[in-house]
Each structure stands twice: as C-alpha cells, then as structure tokens.
C-alpha cells in the first residue's frame, strides 16, 4: 500500500503544477480573446473557449495514459513511433486539408488534427534513442549526419507543406546535439552565419564583406602562428560568399511577404508612407498586438475588460497572438508572471534532465526543453515585435487541441521517464 | 560547460522579454485612457444651448441644427476620394490640404473636415458614410438670431481654438464656444454639459455595443435659458438712430443697474456670423480697421468725457466744502490762468452760480471750482488725490467688474499719474483741463452712463449688468448690492437742478419732451488724429448724458457720437428720443427722428483718409443719406413703430 502511494508522488510535481498553471491561465485568456456577445456560457462548445475546455479535459485522460505506460516502452518503441509519425506527415500530401495555405491537417468531419505537432515529440524520442545508442559517437561525422537526417526529415516535410513555423522549431535540436558533445565548431559556424547574415542584410553585403576581411587580415598579422594565412583567406572567402549569398537569397528566393517581414524587423524600410502601408497590411497583426500589449500598462485592464481584445483588433488572438491578450488584460504583472512561469518550467526540465542517469532520458529531456524554448522565444518575441513574424503557437497557452496534446505528450513522457530514474532500470 | 548554453539562453531570453515588456507597458505606455483608445468610439451628445430672451420675454437667440463631417486621420482607410469629394462638394486639393492639416493637429483626435453641411448634403452623405472609415458626421447646434439686432450685446459662437482646448480640456476640436458678448460671458450657463457615450468597436469599425454597459456614459446637461436686461425695442430703435454714425449708446435703469440698451455703431447683422460663411464674414469685419464694427464703442471706446464731467467737479466741490451752490463766479468769456486762457462761450462779465454754471456749461466756473478743490489745503498734490478718489467712487477710472465680456478702465489721474511730467512742483493749473473733462480724464460710455445713474439715484449705483435672470437660479449678488459714492446725498440736488435747467433754458432746451422732466448735460470734445505724422484736429465729438424723470429716474443714458460736433446736435437728439421711447413707449417728435435718419457723418469719417486738407466743425456742410438708404431707414422705423 505504501509503495503504491509512493508511485504517485515520485512524479515531479513542480513541473506538473507549472504545466497546469500555464494551461489554466491560457484558457482564461482564450475565453477573453474568443468570446463574443454579452451573454457568456463557459460550456458553449460551439465557441473556441468551450472546445478548448473539452481539449483540456481530454488532456487529463491523456496524462493518465502517458504516466500509466511503462517507461521502457518509450525508449524501446521510439523508432517505430518516429516512423509512424513520419508516415503521417507524408500522408498529408495525399489526404491533408489545406488551411490558410498550409496543408497540415487531417480532417475527420469537423474535427481536425495536426500531425506536425506530434512529430516534434516523435523526433525528440528518435534523437534521444540515436544518441544514447552505445554505438553512437557524436564526434563521429557519420553519426552526426545520421542525427541530422533524423531531424531534417520532419523539418523538410513540414516545410513542403508550407508550415515554415514548425520547420524552424527543429532548429531546437541543435541545443540537444551540442549538449551531447557536437564539436564546438558547429556552434561557432552557426553563430557566425546568423551574425553575418543579419549584418549583411542590415548594412549591405559589400560593407560587411570588407569589414570581415579587414578584421581577419588584422588578426592574421597580429598573430601569424595562431591564425594561419590559409584559414584567414578561407574565412574571407566564405564570409564574402555568405554576404552575397544572403543578399541573393533575400532578394531572389524569398517571397515578397517574407521579404517584407524581415525588412520591417531590421528596420530596412525608411519611407514613412510605405511603413504606414505596412502597418495596415501584413504588419497589421504585429502593430495591433504591440498596441494591445502597450495599452495594458502596469496592471492591465482586467479580465474580459480589454477593449482591443473585445473589439477583436488583433487577428488570430486566441491562437498565435494569445500573449497580446495577457498584455492588454493583465498588464506588465500578468506578462511577467507568464514569462517567469515559462522560465521556471524550462529551468526545471533542464535541471531534471541533468539529473538523469540514463542518457536516453537526459537527451529526451533536453529535447523537450529545447522545443518549448524555441516556441517560447519565437512566439512571445514575435508578438512583442522582437522577432520577424513566424507563425507558431505559445505552448500550453494557444488555442488548439493538437498543440495542447502534443506538448502534454512531450512533457509527460519526460515526467514518466524522470519518475523512473530512482527505480532500478 | 556545455549544459550552460541552453540554461543561459533561457535566462537571457526571460530577462530580455521582461525588459521589452517594461518598455512597452510601463516606459512608453501612457496607461489606459478611454479618450485615446481607438477601440472605443466616443460619441458626444451636445445639449441644447440655452435661449436668450430680452427683459420682456422676447426671444432673441435660439438654435438651428448643423452637421459637421469629422475625421480621425489615423483611422482613415483608403477610400474612393473622387466619390467622397463630390459628396462633400470639395475638390481633391482641398481634400488633401484639409486632411494634412487634421493629421498635423493630431492623428488620433477628431478634427473638423467640412463644417456646416446643408440639410440636403447631409441627407445624401449620411447614407454613404459607412463606406468612409475614419470619417463621421457630428450634429451640432448653431445659433439662430431672431432679430438682426444687438450683435455687440449677444456676441456669437465659433469653433474653439487650440489654445482654449489646451487650457480647458472640456472642449474638443470642433466644439463651439462663445466668442463675444453674452455668449462668451455666460458660456457655461448657456452651454450646459455635453454627454458622452463610449461604444466598443471592432476592427472593422463596427459598433459592437456600449463599453462596460454604459458605465462611463454621461447624459448631457441642458444649457440654461437666460433673460437679459436689454429691451429689444429700445435697442433696435437706438441702433436705427445711430445708423451712418459711429459711437456708443448706453442706457441704464438707475434703480437696478440693468442695461436697457447698448448700442455700438457701426454694427452688423449677427446672423452673418453663423454657418459656413462665418469665417469669411468675420475676416471682413475684423479687417475693417477704420470703422471697426467688432469694436464695442459703448464698452471699449475710451473718450475724454468733456462737459458732462463738470457735474463730477461740482459734486466734489460741494462735498469738499470749497463751494456752495450760491457762490458766483464771473466769466470773462473764458478763464485766465498765468499767461494762458481757456475760452468759454458765456458773454463777458456773466456771473454764474452752480446752477447756471451747469446750465451754460461755463468753463470759467468749473476751472475756478477745480482749482478750489485742488488748492483746498494749499497742497495740489493732496488735492488731486482726494478729487481722484471721489471720481473713482462713481466707477470711473477702473473696470466695472460686471458681466460684459469686454471693457476698458478709462482714466482718472492722481498725483502718481503726473509724477513723470511734474516730478517736483505741482500746481492746480497744470491739470486745469480736467476741470472741463478734457486733458487726462477719459471714460467709456458705460462708465459715464453709470455716473449719471449714480447722480439720478442721489449717491449710489448698482453695477451695470446685462443678466436679468437665469433659468432656475438667481443673478450674482454683486449686481444687487448698492455701491455708495463718497458724495453725501444733499449735495446732489443743486447739481440735478442744474441738469434740469440744461433742458429748460440751457444748451439742450430744443430737446425738451412734453410731460417728462429730463436732467441732462451736453458735451463737445475736441479731438485729434495723427495724419501723416501731423497732429490734426478733427470735428468735435458730440456727447450727451441724461436721466429722466427727475424724481425716481427710470433711465440714465450716455451717448457718444464721434465727430458729431456739439453735444446737442447728434448725441442730444439720440438721448432725448431714446428717453421718450423708453418712458412713453412711443415717440412724438417725428421731425427729430427724421433729421437723425437723414443725416450721415460718413463725410466726417472719410476726412482723415482723403489725403487732402479739410475743414472741421462749423465749416463743414451737413451730408445727407441718399434716397435709397433713407427709404430703407424709414421702412425700418415704420416696422419698429408697428411693434407697439
């Protein structure tokens, strides 16, 4: 009997409470953002808030199932789960339903499901399985490539379905691989590419190419032993190619609406008339969401009192732009509360991951934290205008069953794995 | 070390987000202000502006509806400008110009785009207004003047300017506010308080419903009707008599201080300052710097009072004990002081006591009196201060503190005033011109009328005011309190008797009215203008003050007619006719009326601008109005008579 009780309480309740707080507070904001009319019935299942309530109830069932399954199941069947998940993504090309230009949904009557949300968890499992395999050495190029393939395959599939947002999420696995010993050169190259690309777009390719050349040549002449000529020349060549490559990519490959987003983000557009035009068209959401957040002030206008929320000024406010509701109605206090909840959740998961005895659990935990982190970074960053517009939901917060369940699966598999760490394996 | 990359990134991003939130929500946020929230539509409900009635209940000012097209530049979406312009009957340049002006004023606050639509345009536009986001129609009420009289009394309303909006946030762009006259001085009473409705909008600019179920909405408070002290009939009559002349007339009821008539000539039809033509007409009136129709001569015209001021000197002399009513002064057709001489039209050797001195307006008598007042203790400096204080107790030399929107202090000098010119020695002869109401003394018609009212009351006055009653409340206490002068009651009788003799035997004997005992005083004031930097004398101003009847006066009046020559020629006739009109309700002396309508002073007013040398006073021939104008005036007179 005592053993039975222990089994329940060895789950990490801090993570669970943080999860529940986010889901609950998220639902309150969905209510605000999606209610219409004066009379209000929380159980009106034709409304978004009503549907979300069903999703939340089903989530509890899902949690029971996830925690009930033997922990070994997840490791043993990770490859199969991954394969099924990839097949479900491929199947979209044949049976998928197109919503807003992305073919990411299976429709069963009025019920739709988005397999790409679940693919994130499947990929996390597969990556964990691959890295924790005794035969895998991440410093080995062959194993690196194998890991990359596992990650890039779903990313490529969702990209082909026009779901750019989900593609970006797979970048999260860089944190996982790096933690597990991916050579530092990847980090440097990655940072270098990101930095040079942004600078080249902002200040022009030729200027940045010349600046990089001058810096690397100076370094070569200061310390010839540490910076051999060949290496310096390679850096110059690569960065020049990168600068002009980015320029070409931006001007010729990106679609106009993507160009506009980047141009707005990097403040490339100076013409006030055109800026005004942007604010009324593609940047309308961003502009309205920033205004809504700003108008909340220190303590917000109060639950269901947001004038911009009530007036539905921010499109997609109950999904991707849910954070602007928090901003308007709960103010700086509410927003800070949400940011702190996310930071605590992430730190808690990372902390637990580091405590894991099994490498599989640790890698998986890292995968969970990385995926949630990327969502958190991009979604809130976008809503506040820090990051160009990329459509991905705020975990646990945004409206949508697939998203909620996918994150539930992601987190609770880890909680189950974690609960097993004290047990003999 | 590797595990810290993600760990650090999480904390870094958390800090970054909170800083950004701090910037958005605290540093750059102005907090939530319903008035600046463009998710909330503010609909103003303007209350009825109070009506204005005259003292007998005759409606003078009412309202008429008007429709303005308003714009909130920030909310304007691309629109079919061609259609919009043709609906508003404006061209595209004007559209762009007005729009830019509105945006420059404020992108988020409403500005007037086109004001005062006609009813037909309004009807057509209202149907299509939904197509033009950011524009809406605001209903307001404009004034409707029932009669074309009293422009200077009633004033007008116009759009508030930005300075007023900054000082008084009650007003929003496009609101109407009293600009002059009673509209300005009783703005808050007449205006009421506008109501506001907050309506929740959605992003398609549709109304969803009242914001918080109307918890912040207010209902408008109606403006209050007022009755003013003006007698519309007397006012209209006075304005008619003053046509083709310049000057001011003020008639006061001495027993209450109520202003019965306030004529400023030239005047204009108050209806021209209503509606779309307002700004054009206002500019025209404003730019007429010669006739100055917007200049209220009865309140703002500061003139040397001339002979009527002799009454003041007589009263001060009696009060100071330096004169008795029977003391006689010999006139040598003037008054010699030192080596200078002040002329008088008495015959040489005429001996005047106080009554005949007033009756004949003897300069020598009043020069003597003035010197006696100032030299009472052989100290002219003290003397002039005492003299000045007595005069000031009649409301001269300072603002009357009444409910009229404009006013002037006038000037009653004291020793301090002369300090720069006469720093050390000061003799009574230095300022001898004050004895006859010239020199440094200056008054406005309303001050002079008030002085006469105080004489008629034998020693006190009520502050002259324009408000008779306000719907549901009394009039301010300051207008019902007697203000006593520093002159004792018994000293008034000889002066009043002198004024009575002015009509019986003296300078106004041709202006007598049967059955009414009038007490009056003429005045003829020299005046000068600078023409091409040469000080040039113009025809004298004609001045007249009077009250009637002698006992329990019902009316006190002061009339100034610029360049009308001697007192009884123009001013005296106007005063006499208006007194009769007020007391009897009709006039008997048709020839005198006719004479006033027939004669114009435009030739006098043209002289300084003619660029040629000209003659003044008696050397100028009368000018008559042409027949068309004469017929118009006669017709108007008939209308006034038929009202009785």
CB of B55 closer than 8 Å to CB of B468: yes
Task: Note whether B20 contacts A290, CB cutoff 8 Å.
Answer: no
Name the residue of chain B whose CA is nearest to A174's CA: B6
Taking the CA of residue A197 and the nearest CA in chain B, the distance in Å comes to: 21
Same domain assignment for residues A390 and A405: yes
Taking the CA of residue A385 and the nearest CA in chain B, the distance in Å comes to: 9
Query: Is pLDDT above 90 for A60?
Result: yes
Name the residue of chain B whose CA is nearest to A354's CA: B3
Q: Give A342's contacts in chain B (Cβ within 8 Å).
A: 14
Q: Give B39's contacts in chain A (Cβ within 8 Å).
A: 307-308, 310-311, 313
Interface check for A44 against chain B (CB to CB < 8 A): the answer is no
Q: Is residue A396 part of a domain?
A: yes
**Whole-number Å distance between alpha carbons of B75 and B38:** 8
Name the residue of chain A whose CA is nearest to B201's CA: A311
Residue with more model confidence, A76 or B508: A76
Taking the CA of residue A349 and the nearest CA in chain B, the distance in Å comes to: 10
Q: Give B40's contacts in chain A (Cβ within 8 Å).
A: 307
Query: Is pLDDT above 50 for B455?
Result: yes
- Mean pLDDT on B210-229: 85
Residues 223-242 of A with CB under 8 A from B: none
Task: Note whether A311 contacts B200, CB cutoff 8 Å.
Answer: yes
Q: Which of A76-85, B385-394, B467-476 has the lowest mean pLDDT?
A: B467-476
The rounded percent of chain B whose pLDDT value lies above 90 is: 38
Taking the CA of residue B22 and the nearest CA in chain A, the distance in Å comes to: 7
Same domain assignment for residues A203 and A160: no
Task: Note whether A380 contacts B7, CB cutoff 8 Å.
Answer: no
Domain ends where: A249, A278, A307?
Answer: A278
Closest in B7, B10, B28 to A294, CB measured: B28
- Mean pLDDT on B239-244: 92
Helix axes A359-383, A322-355, angle to 10 degrees: 160
Nearest one of B548, B564, B465, B22 to B226, comparing CA atoms:
B465
Residue with more model confidence, B31 or A380: A380
Q: Give B73's contacts in chain A (Cβ within 8 Å).
A: none
CA A414 to chain centre: 17
Under 8 Å CB-to-CB from B62, ≥6 apart: which residues? B51, B143, B144, B146
Residues of B with CB under 8 A from a CB of A: 2-3, 5-7, 9-11, 13-14, 16-18, 20-22, 24-26, 28-29, 31-32, 37, 39-40, 77, 200-203, 208-209, 211-212
- Mean pLDDT on A351-377: 94
Q: Give A354's contacts in chain B (Cβ within 8 Å).
A: 3
- Mean pLDDT on A174-180: 91
How far are the Cα atoms of A62, B335, B341, B501, B506 from residue B332, in angstroms, in the given order?
126, 7, 10, 22, 19
Residue with more model confidence, A12 or A307: A12
- In this prediction, residue B31 carries a pLDDT of 63
- Mean pLDDT on A198-222: 87
Same domain assignment for residues A212 and A84: no
Tokens of B643: 């009202």
Closest in B26, B39, B208 to A332, CB measured: B26
Best to test chain A binding among B10, B19, B35 (most A CBs inside 10 Å):
B10
Name the residue of chain B whose CA is nearest to A366's CA: B6
Q: Give B2's contacts in chain A (Cβ within 8 Å).
A: 178-179, 181
Interface check for A173 against chain B (CB to CB < 8 A): the answer is no
Name the residue of chain A whose CA is nearest to B198's CA: A307
- In this prediction, residue A424 carries a pLDDT of 44
Same domain assignment for residues A269 and A125: no
Task: Note whether A293 contacts B13, CB cutoff 8 Å.
Answer: no
Q: Is residue A80 part of a domain?
A: yes
- Strand pairing partners for B64? B142
How many A×B Cβ pairs under 8 Å? 111
Same domain assignment for residues A348 and A376: yes
Same domain assignment for residues A200 and A130: no
Taking the CA of residue A100 and the nearest CA in chain B, the distance in Å comes to: 20
- In this prediction, residue A65 carries a pLDDT of 94
Name the residue of chain A whose CA is nearest to B4's CA: A179
Interface check for A38 against chain B (CB to CB < 8 A): the answer is yes
Task: Note whether B202 contacts A311, CB cutoff 8 Å.
Answer: yes
Query: Is pLDDT above 60 for A282?
Result: yes
Query: Is pLDDT above 90 for A364?
Result: yes
Query: Is pLDDT above 60 for B26?
Result: yes
- Strand pairing partners for B350? B331
Give residue-wise pLDDT tens across range B421-454: 888 888 888 888 999 988 899 999 999 999 999 9
Same domain assignment for residues A202 and A137: no
The rounded percent of chain A whose pLDDT value lies above 70 is: 96
**Whole-number Å distance between alpha carbons of B140 and B194:** 11
Name the residue of chain A whose CA is nearest to B204's CA: A313
Same domain assignment for residues A9 and A47: yes
Query: Is pLDDT above 60 for A7?
Result: no
**Whole-number Å distance between alpha carbons of B273 and B151:** 9
Taking the CA of residue A297 and the nearest CA in chain B, the distance in Å comes to: 4
The rounded percent of chain B whose pLDDT value lies above 70 is: 99
- In this prediction, residue A9 carries a pLDDT of 58
Same domain assignment for residues A155 and A206: no
What separation, in Å, do the N-terminal and C-terminal C-alpha atoms of chain A show? 22
Best to test chain B binding among A174, A175, A307 (most B CBs inside 10 Å):
A307
Q: Is residue A68 part of a domain?
A: yes
- Read off the pLDDT band of A8 (50, 70, 90): low
CB of B155 closer than 8 Å to CB of B184: yes
Domain ends where: A278, A313, A329?
Answer: A278
Query: Is pLDDT above 70 for B349?
Result: yes
- In this prediction, residue B32 carries a pLDDT of 65
Task: Note whether A327 contacts B24, CB cutoff 8 Å.
Answer: yes
- Mean pLDDT on A272-295: 79
Q: Is residue A372 part of a domain?
A: yes
- Read off the pLDDT band of A425 (50, 70, 90): very low
Task: Note whether B18 contacts A294, CB cutoff 8 Å.
Answer: no
Q: Which of A111-115, A366-370, B484-488 has the lowest mean pLDDT?
A: A111-115
Q: Is residue A424 part of a domain?
A: no
Query: Which long-range contacts link A413-416 to residues 24+ away (Cβ below 8 Å)?
Result: A413/A66, A413/A74, A413/A121, A413/A125, A413/A364, A414/A349, A414/A352, A414/A353, A414/A361, A414/A364, A414/A365, A414/A368, A415/A11, A415/A12, A415/A15, A415/A16, A415/A67, A416/A11, A416/A66, A416/A67, A416/A69, A416/A71, A416/A74
Give residue-wise pLDDT tens across range B404-420: 888 899 999 999 999 88
Q: Give A336's contacts in chain B (Cβ within 8 Å).
A: 18, 21
What separation, in Å, do the N-terminal and C-terminal C-alpha atoms of chain B show? 108
- Mean pLDDT on A88-92: 91
Taking the CA of residue B132 and the nearest CA in chain A, the distance in Å comes to: 16
Same domain assignment for residues A138 and A197: no
Taking the CA of residue B1 and the nearest CA in chain A, the distance in Å comes to: 9
Task: Note whether A335 contacts B25, CB cutoff 8 Å.
Answer: yes
- Read off the pLDDT band of B30 (50, 70, 90): low
Same domain assignment for residues A162 and A243: no
Closest in B5, B32, B211 to A175, CB measured: B5
User: ipTM of this predicted complex?
Assistant: 0.92
- In this prediction, residue A360 carries a pLDDT of 93
Domains of chain B with CATH codes: 40-228 (3.90.1310.10), 232-642 (3.40.710.10)
Same domain assignment for residues A272 and A361: no
Interface check for A315 against chain B (CB to CB < 8 A): the answer is yes
Taking the CA of residue A323 and the nearest CA in chain B, the distance in Å comes to: 11
pTM for the model stands at 0.68
∠ CA B111-B116-B121, rounded to 5°: 110
Query: Is pLDDT above 70 for B294?
Result: yes
Can you give the residue range of the structural domain that contains A216?
Answer: 188-278
Q: Is residue A170 part of a domain?
A: yes
- In this prediction, residue A146 carries a pLDDT of 93
DSSP string, A294-319: HHHTTT-S-TT--HHHHTT-STTTTT
Taking the CA of residue A209 and the nearest CA in chain B, the distance in Å comes to: 29
Residue with more model confidence, B477 or A24: A24
Q: Give B6's contacts in chain A (Cβ within 8 Å).
A: 175, 179, 350, 366, 369-370, 373
Closest in A288, A294, A340 to B25, CB measured: A294
- In this prediction, residue B105 carries a pLDDT of 82
- Mean pLDDT on B370-390: 90
- Mean pLDDT on B126-142: 84
- In this prediction, residue A1 carries a pLDDT of 39
- Mean pLDDT on B249-267: 93
- Mean pLDDT on A393-416: 94
- Mean pLDDT on B149-161: 90
User: What is the DSSP pairing of strand B329-337 with strand B258-265?
Assistant: unpaired
Closest in B5, B20, B211 to A386, CB measured: B20
Name the residue of chain B whose CA is nearest to A342's CA: B14
Taking the CA of residue B21 and the nearest CA in chain A, the distance in Å comes to: 6
Task: Note whether B212 contacts A295, CB cutoff 8 Å.
Answer: no
* Domain total of chain A: 2
Name the residue of chain A whose CA is nearest to B13's CA: A377
Query: Is pLDDT above 90 for A153?
Result: yes
Give residue-wise pLDDT tens across range B90-102: 888 888 898 888 8
Tokens of B599: 């004669």
Q: Give B10's contacts in chain A (Cβ within 8 Å).
A: 343, 346-347, 350, 369, 373
Residue with more model confidence, B9 or A226: B9
- In this prediction, residue A39 carries a pLDDT of 63
Q: Is residue A425 part of a domain?
A: no
């Amino acid at each position: 009997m005592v053993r039975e009780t222990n089994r329940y309480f060895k789950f990490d309740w801090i993570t669970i409470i943080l999860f529940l707080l986010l889901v609950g507070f998220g639902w309150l904001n969905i209510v605000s953002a999606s209610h219409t009319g004066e009379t209000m019935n929380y159980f009106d299942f034709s409304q978004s808030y009503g549907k979300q309530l069903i999703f939340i109830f089903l989530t509890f069932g899902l949690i029971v199932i996830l925690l009930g399954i033997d922990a070994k199941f997840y490791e043993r069947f990770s490859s199969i789960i991954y394969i099924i998940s990839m097949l479900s993504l491929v199947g979209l090309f044949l049976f998928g339903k197109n919503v807003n230009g992305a073919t990411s949904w299976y429709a069963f009557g009025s019920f739709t499901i988005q397999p790409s949300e679940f693919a994130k968890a499947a990929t996390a499992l597969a990556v964990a399985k691959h890295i924790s395999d005794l035969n895998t050495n991440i410093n080995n190029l062959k194993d690196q490539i194998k890991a990359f393939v596992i990650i890039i395959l779903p990313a490529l599939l969702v990209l082909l379905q026009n779901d750019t947002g989900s593609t970006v999420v797979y970048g999260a696995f860089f944190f996982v691989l790096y933690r597990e010993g991916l050579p530092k050169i990847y980090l440097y190259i990655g940072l270098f590419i990101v930095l040079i690309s942004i600078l080249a777009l902002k200040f022009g390719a030729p200027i940045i190419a010349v600046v990089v050349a001058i810096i690397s040549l100076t370094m070569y002449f200061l310390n010839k032993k540490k910076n051999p000529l060949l290496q310096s020349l390679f850096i110059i060549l690569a960065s020049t190619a990168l600068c002009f490559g980015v320029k070409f990519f931006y001007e010729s490959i990106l679609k106009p609406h993507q160009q506009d987003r980047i141009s707005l983000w990097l403040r490339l557009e100076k013409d006030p008339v055109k800026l005004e035009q942007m604010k009324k068209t593609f940047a309308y959401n961003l502009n309205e969401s920033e205004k809504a957040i700003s108008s909340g002030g220190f303590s917000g206008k109060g639950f269901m009192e947001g004038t911009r929320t009530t007036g539905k000024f921010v499109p997609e406010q109950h999904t991707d732009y849910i954070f602007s509701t928090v901003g308007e109605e709960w103010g700086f206090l509410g927003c800070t509360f949400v940011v702190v909840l996310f930071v605590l959740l992430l730190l808690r998961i990372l902390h637990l991951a580091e405590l894991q005895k099994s490498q599989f659990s640790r890698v998986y935990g890292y995968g969970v934290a990385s995926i949630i982190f990327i969502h958190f970074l991009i979604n809130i960053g976008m809503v506040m205008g820090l990051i160009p517009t990329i459509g991905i939901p705020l975990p646990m917060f945004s409206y949508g069953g697939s998203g909620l369940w996918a994150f539930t699966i992601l987190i609770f598999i880890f909680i189950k794995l974690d609960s097993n760490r004290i047990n003999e394996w | 070390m590797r595990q810290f990359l993600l760990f650090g990134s999480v904390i870094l991003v958390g800090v970054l987000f909170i800083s950004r939130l701090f910037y958005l929500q605290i540093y750059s946020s102005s907090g939530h202000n319903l008035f600046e929230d463009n998710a909330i539509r503010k609909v103003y409900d303007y209350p009825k502006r109070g009506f204005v009635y005259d003292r007998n209940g005759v409606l003078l000012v009412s309202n008429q509806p008007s429709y303005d097209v308003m714009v909130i530049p920030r909310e304007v979406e691309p629109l079919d400008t061609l259609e919009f312009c043709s609906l508003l009957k404006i061209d595209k340049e004007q559209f762009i110009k007005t729009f830019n002006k509105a945006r420059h004023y404020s992108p988020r606050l409403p500005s007037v785009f086109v004001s005062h639509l006609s009813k037909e345009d309004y009807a057509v536009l209202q149907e299509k207004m939904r197509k033009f986001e950011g524009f809406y129609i605001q209903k307001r009420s404009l004034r409707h003047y029932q009669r074309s009289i009293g422009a200077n009394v009633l004033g007008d309303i116009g759009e508030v300017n930005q300075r007023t909006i900054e000082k008084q946030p009650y007003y929003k762009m496009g609101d109407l506010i009293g600009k002059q006259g009673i509209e300005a001085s009783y703005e808050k009473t007449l205006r009421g308080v506008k109501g506001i409705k907050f309506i929740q909008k959605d992003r398609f600019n549709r109304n969803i419903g009242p914001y918080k179920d109307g918890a912040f909405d207010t209902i408008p408070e109606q403006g209050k009707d007022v009755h003013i002290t003006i007698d519309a009939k007397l006012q209209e009559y006075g304005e008619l008599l003053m046509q083709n002349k310049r000057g001011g007339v003020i008639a006061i009821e001495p027993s209450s201080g109520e202003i019965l008539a306030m004529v400023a000539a030239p005047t204009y039809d108050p209806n021209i300052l209503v509606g779309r033509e307002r700004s054009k007409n206002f500019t025209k009136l404003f730019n007429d710097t010669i006739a100055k129709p917007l200049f209220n001569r009865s309140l703002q015209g500061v003139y040397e009072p001339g002979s009527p001021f002799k009454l003041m000197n007589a009263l001060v002399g009696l009060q100071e004990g330096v004169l008795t009513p029977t003391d006689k002064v010999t006139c040598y057709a003037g008054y010699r002081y030192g080596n200078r001489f002040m002329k008088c039209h008495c015959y040489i050797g005429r001996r005047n006591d106080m009554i005949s001195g007033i009756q004949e307006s003897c300069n020598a008598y009043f020069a003597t009196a003035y010197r006696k007042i100032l030299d009472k203790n052989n100290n002219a400096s003290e003397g002039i201060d005492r003299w000045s204080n007595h005069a000031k107790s009649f409301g001269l030399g300072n603002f009357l503190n009444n409910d009229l929107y404009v006013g002037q202090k006038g000037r009653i000098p004291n020793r301090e005033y002369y300090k720069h010119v006469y720093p050390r020695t000061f003799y009574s002869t230095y300022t001898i011109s004050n004895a006859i109401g010239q020199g440094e003394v200056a008054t406005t018609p309303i001050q002079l009328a008030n002085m006469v009212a105080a004489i008629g009351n034998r020693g006190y006055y009520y502050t002259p005011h324009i408000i008779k009653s306000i719907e549901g409340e009394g009039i301010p206490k300051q207008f019902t309190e007697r203000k006593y002068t520093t002159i004792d009651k018994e000293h008034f009788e000889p002066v009043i008797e002198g004024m009575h003799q002015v009509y019986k035997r003296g300078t106004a004997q041709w202006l007598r009215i049967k059955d009414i005992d009038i007490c009056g005083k003429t005045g003829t004031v020299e005046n000068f203008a600078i023409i091409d930097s040469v000080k040039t004398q113009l025809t004298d101003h004609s001045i007249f003050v009077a009250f009637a009847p002698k006992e329990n006066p019902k009316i006190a009046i002061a009339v100034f007619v610029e360049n009308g020559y001697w007192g009884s020629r123009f001013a005296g006739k106007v005063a006499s006719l208006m007194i009769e009109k007020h007391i009897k309700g009709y006039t008997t002396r048709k020839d005198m009326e006719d004479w006033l309508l027939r004669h114009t002073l435009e030739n006098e007013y043209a002289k300084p601008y003619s660029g040629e040398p000209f003659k003044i006073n008696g050397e100028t021939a009368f000018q008559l109005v042409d027949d068309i104008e004469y017929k118009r005036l006669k017709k108007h007179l008939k209308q006034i008579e038929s009202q009785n």
